[in-house]
Amino acid sequence: MSENDTLLINEIFLSIQGESLSTGEPTTFVRLSGCPLRCSYCDTSYAFKDGKTLSYAEILKKIRENKTKYVTVTGGEPLAQKNCFKFLDTIAPNYEVSLETSNAYSIKSIHKDVIIVLDVKTPKSNESDSNIEDNYNHLKNNDQIKFVICDQEDYEWSVEYMYKHKLNDKCKVLFSPSYEEMDPKYLAEMILKDNIPVRLQIQLHKFLWGDARGK
Ligand code: SF4
């Protein structure tokens, strides 16, 4: 490791994974600072700026202290920091690592053992122009694609987009209702009515702790 091996970190904390196929697993979250996007429903705007520069060694020490098998690297947008790629290479051999990323950066060079949770941006996020379609060529079958759905139009767009890019053939697709914006029950009923190959995802951490930070 060199002196360049640092990241701007917003927070590192122990919690229960609230999203993805690892929902419910005790997990160490490493939240990187900074994001160039401005999604309409963003609940981590505090991560846009605040942060502390930590060496990889300091980050690894905090991860070890939590004694979890699972580590999730999130943001902000983690890939906005170039050093994130090397950090993932460093931790991938020792933990079950997932990366939550916005689909605004290429995932081509992510370590093969890292599970990518790719957040496809819908029109109501106001960031759908940021989607990089080439990313769909680099998905592994244990990666996950997430759509945060704000309303009926977003739902219809997401279904069409999923089929157009054959996303459900590449990996698991998650439909998540935008918190306090779309009724989860309504989304569940739409999924059943249309018989679409997606998994409904409700943010467990919001159910447990609401908007509390570091949870
Ligand atoms: S990509 Fe994530 S962190 Fe960035 S604005 Fe969107 S929801 Fe917020």
The pLDDT tens digits of the residues spanning 163-203 come to 999 999 999 999 999 998 999 999 999 999 999 999 999 88
What ligand 1 atom has the least distance to the C-alpha of 100? 2
Tell me which of 210 and 101 has the higher pLDDT. Answer: 101
What ligand 1 atom has the least distance to the C-alpha of 35? 4
For residue 1, being part of any structural domain is answered with no
The pLDDT tens digits of the residues spanning 27-52 come to 999 999 999 999 999 989 999 988 99
3-state secondary structure of 27: strand
For residue 202, being part of any structural domain is answered with yes
For residue 79, being part of any structural domain is answered with yes
Ligand 1: does its nearest atom lie under 6 Å from the Cβ of 102?
yes
Where are the alpha helices (H) located in the chain, listed in sequence order? Answer: 56-66, 83-91, 152-164, 167-170, 184-194, 204-209
Looking only at Cα atoms, what is the longest distance across the chain? 55
Q: What's the domain range around 184?
A: 6-209
The pLDDT tens digits of the residues spanning 46-92 come to 999 889 999 999 999 999 999 999 999 999 999 999 999 999 999 99
Residue 148 to residue 141: CA distance in whole angstroms: 20
What is the CATH number for 115? 3.20.20.70
Ligand 1 pocket test: pick from 35, 50, 79, 127 the residue with the most ligand atoms within 8 Å of its Cβ. Answer: 35
For residue 92, being part of any structural domain is answered with yes
Residue 63 to residue 71: CA distance in whole angstroms: 8
What is the pLDDT confidence band of residue 2, given thresholds at 50, 70 and 90? low
3-state secondary structure of 155: helix
Looking at residue 195, what is its pLDDT? Answer: 98
For residue 113, being part of any structural domain is answered with yes
Closest CA to ligand 1's atom 1: 102
Looking at residue 51, what is its pLDDT? Answer: 94
Closest CA to ligand 1's atom 5: 38
Looking at residue 1, what is its pLDDT? Answer: 55
3-state secondary structure of 146: strand
The pairing of strands 144-149 and 115-120 is: parallel
User: How many independent structural domains does the chain possess?
Assistant: 1
For residue 158, being part of any structural domain is answered with yes
For residue 125, being part of any structural domain is answered with yes
Looking at residue 146, what is its pLDDT? Answer: 97
Ligand 1: does its nearest atom lie under 6 Å from the Cβ of 44?
yes
Residue 206 to residue 177: CA distance in whole angstroms: 12
191 CA → ligand 1 middle, Å: 25
Ligand 1: does its nearest atom lie under 6 Å from the Cβ of 39?
yes
Closest CA to ligand 1's atom 7: 42
Q: Let me know how many helices (H) and strands (E) the chain has, helices first.
A: 6, 9
DSSP sequence for 73-96:
EESS-GGGSTHHHHHHHHHTTTSE
Ligand 1: does its nearest atom lie under 6 Å from the Cβ of 75?
yes
Residue 41 to residue 118: CA distance in whole angstroms: 16
* Nearest Cα residue to 124 out of 1, 24, 40: 40
pTM: 0.94
Residue 82 to residue 132: CA distance in whole angstroms: 17
Q: Are the C-beta atoms of residues 37 and 104 closer than 8 Å to each other?
A: yes
Q: Are the C-beta atoms of residues 37 and 53 closer than 8 Å to each other?
A: no
For residue 215, being part of any structural domain is answered with no
